[in-house]
Amino acid sequence: MKNTTGYGLNAFLDFDSPLEVFAHLLIGSEGTLAFIAEAVLRTIPDEPYRLTSLLLFPDLHTACAAIMPFRDAGARAVELLDRASLRAVQDKPGVPVTIATLPDGVAGLLVEFRASDESDIAGLERIAAGTVTPIRLIVPAEFSAEPHLQARYWAVRQGLFTSVGAARPSGTSVILEDVTFPVDRLADGAVDLTKLFARHGYAEGVIFGHAKDGNLHFLLTQRFDTDSEVGRYARFMEELADLVANRYGGALKGEHGTGRNMAPFVETEWGPEAVAVMRRLKELADPDSILNPGVILNPRATAHIEHLKSAPAMEPEADRCIECGYCEPVCPSRDLTTTPRQRIVLRREILRQRSLGDPTPMLTALERDYDYDALQTCAGDGMCELACPVGINTGTLVRRFRHDGHSARAERAAREVARSWATTERVARGALRAGRLTAATAGDRVLIALTRAARTIGDDELVPRWLEQTPAAAPAKLPPTARDGAAAVYFPACINRIFGADRGQPAHPSLPEAVVAVAQRAGLPVWIPADVAGACCATPWHSKGYEDGNALMANRTVERAYRWTEGGRLALVTDASSCAYGLHGTRPYLTPQNQRRFDALTLLDSVDFAHDRLLPRLTVPRTVASVALHPVCSLHHAGTEDKLRAIAAAIADEVFVPPSAGCCGFAGDRGFLHPELTASATAPMAGELAGRECTAYLSSNRTCEIGMQRGTGQPYRSFMFLLEELTR
């Protein structure tokens, strides 16, 4: 029977060498006997060919009766889901619609057979059919080898933690525990567990788990901010320990660590003699009790209800966070300051400390450090939203704080910058030219005034460094185009109307020149409107929380786009992926009239335009040997990163995307203000590119290209340049 309660005392029987005994007593995730500095994992094959079904039974007992037949038939996965867990996910995308129509009391088994060779599938189908034939189901069994159907079945199982976490009341925590019952008594144990939920008021409790091992997980939500709630939880845990360990002879932990929550009940399960051995072991390995004290073994019977971490209600953008940490691997600031999870945890702690009354030293320290560690170094890229089980974009929370920190004067200044953006573009190009010609004279003064007005740079000492890092100015004039016969309207992003080529790269063709040329070559000419200056996707204001400036710019651009495209007859193409994505997100900030105009528009990123419309009409007479590709965050949000890969594959023999490819951390102006963020975010990618010779380095967003060049030392530029060159 699966069991992770306490220490694995079977090690004393399984091994003779003291070192082997000790090594097999260690629990790395809990670290109470030693610190594990390095581990080598012995992996098992992950068979790629699978046969999967979600079987629905009239009740838990019928479902559990089918566990052993499937286990004996060789099923690799047999997952039990009670009716409450099925109900929790029945409205989620991808979940079979029949789930919502099931009556009370129904239970499900997610069964999967696996094979390493495709030829074995037919044999698995015969085994599955023979096993399921005598079993009573409420819906006929359907075993499928189709990946999309398998994904739908697994969406039911994998969406549970997400669904319960997202639906929990504000101010509650999600409790995830696991226990093991003898397989032949699993149904009775599950039923008694649901009765325990009802008796203690956990109506939302759900049960699921690895049925062929008798291992059940359960989820419930709990407040810890009042004595009555803590008392309710304490009574539940006492009865749970008695139910599992005493009445069923099961294990209080089947997979998870013992932790502090089950530490007071280790003796309930194992008895005083076994626990005495565990305590002697702990004393020998850690005589001063400095290694995670109180975990696994704790002399206090109330240890599980002491020092509880409550979850105070916080801003709605992040209140649903269940602190799982799935967001952390994709965060560009993870190795520099904080991750999205840590930003939220710190914010909750600030709120908790404020609730105590007088300011505490902890609160003072947190509020002092939060601005840089959590706000200034947040890229706001939103990649955390894609990884988050409940879809939280921590950048939205950060934008709220940035907005709250603006004075009325700053809001007016940002709105004025938006109002006069055409002038700002012209001044910025002039400043770049002046700054390059005269190291720190007129250009510095213009940039200081500009950036202070836009509240992007507030420190005079940053300006010379800013000038050193920027590319040359873009050409003042955009390439000539004609409205008559145009297949699309081309809206060069303002970042590409200001920034030109990097040092050491040819100034011509400019990006607009390359786009115009390759579109003409494909027989789909584009037209650049004469009044494109002063229009912007509004992302610079949106990302900094300037609401008035954001609304002003978003409405202006949509009004012009509607006119340019003749009421949406032509598509609007822009040449920066983040700007295209930003335009798609402007609708909530538009007037009702402009929302109707927005709905009539077809907005295309240059990646969409090149992949869907240009590439099929182009001939690529030659290719380059290899390209390194950086799919920017906006492409991941739009789900179009594969289109950029396909374009690269059409013009290069080899396409390399660094395994750690993610946000570069440049984030508009973050890379100028905090170059350490970009350096940290790009370090893994730089390591993966080191020693690899690529013919070209491609992306689809100007500031990201700047960030990747600063971080990796390689000359990143828009894919459009190489596409134009190779289709001449």
Helix or strand or coil: residue 276? Answer: helix
Indicate if the pLDDT at residue 489 is higher than 70.
Answer: yes
The two tokens of residue 275 are 């626990």
Closest CA to 254 of 40, 2, 39: 2
Residue 58 has phi, psi (to 5 degrees) of -70, -25
Helix or strand or coil: residue 331? Answer: coil
List Cβ neighbours of 275 (8 Å cut-off, separation of 6 or more).
6, 266, 267, 297
C-alpha 445/C-alpha 441 separation (Å) is 7
CB 527 within 8 A of CB 486: yes
Q: What angle do CA 150, 646, 705 make, to 5 degrees?
A: 115
Please give the single-letter amino acid code of residue 710.
Answer: R
List Cβ neighbours of 111 (8 Å cut-off, separation of 6 or more).
52, 53, 54, 55, 70, 75, 77, 78, 79, 128, 143
List Cβ neighbours of 355 (8 Å cut-off, separation of 6 or more).
312
Residue that has been written with the tokens 């303002």 in this structure: 494
C-alpha 629/C-alpha 651 separation (Å) is 12
Rg (CA), the chain: 30
C-alpha 439/C-alpha 465 separation (Å) is 11
Supply the DSSP symbol for 360: P
- Secondary-structure breakdown of the chain: helix, strand, coil percentages, each rounded to the nearest 5: 50, 10, 40
Percent of the chain whose predicted confidence (pLDDT) is above 90: 75
Least confident of 423-437, 656-670, 696-710: 423-437
Condensed to tens digits (0 to 9), the pLDDT of residues 163-219 reads 788 788 888 988 999 999 999 999 999 999 999 999 999 988 899 999 999 999 999
pLDDT of residue 468: 54
C-alpha 330/C-alpha 344 separation (Å) is 16
Condensed to tens digits (0 to 9), the pLDDT of residues 104-162 reads 889 999 999 999 999 999 999 999 999 999 999 998 999 999 998 998 888 888 878 77
Residue that has been written with the tokens 């003409």 in this structure: 520
**Residue 401: how many other CB atoms lie within 10 Å:** 18
Closest CA to 223 of 210, 214, 239, 236: 236
Q: What angle do CA 259, 261, 262 make, to 5 degrees?
A: 80
The two tokens of residue 58 are 């009239």
Confidence of residue 354 (pLDDT cuts 50, 70, 90): very high
Closest CA to 4 of 259, 218, 363: 259
Residue 394 has phi, psi (to 5 degrees) of -65, -25
List Cβ neighbours of 426 (8 Å cut-off, separation of 6 or more).
476, 533
The two tokens of residue 27 are 């629990």
Indicate if the pLDDT at residue 453 is higher than 50.
Answer: no
CB 379 within 8 A of CB 681: yes
The two tokens of residue 398 are 């950060």
On the CB side of 105, CA atoms within 13 Å amount to: 5
Helix or strand or coil: residue 365? Answer: helix
Average pLDDT score over residue span 424-447: 59
The two tokens of residue 238 are 């006492």
State the DSSP H helix or E strand holding residue 115, giving kind and residue range, or none if neither. Answer: strand 107-115
Confidence of residue 435 (pLDDT cuts 50, 70, 90): low
pLDDT of residue 433: 77
> Which value, to the nearest 10 degrees, does the dihedral of the CA atoms of residues 629, 633, 639, 640 take?
-40
pLDDT of residue 629: 98
pTM attached to this predicted model: 0.84
Q: Please report, for the chain, how many H helices and E strands are present, in that order.
A: 32, 14
Indicate if the pLDDT at residue 638 is higher than 50.
Answer: yes
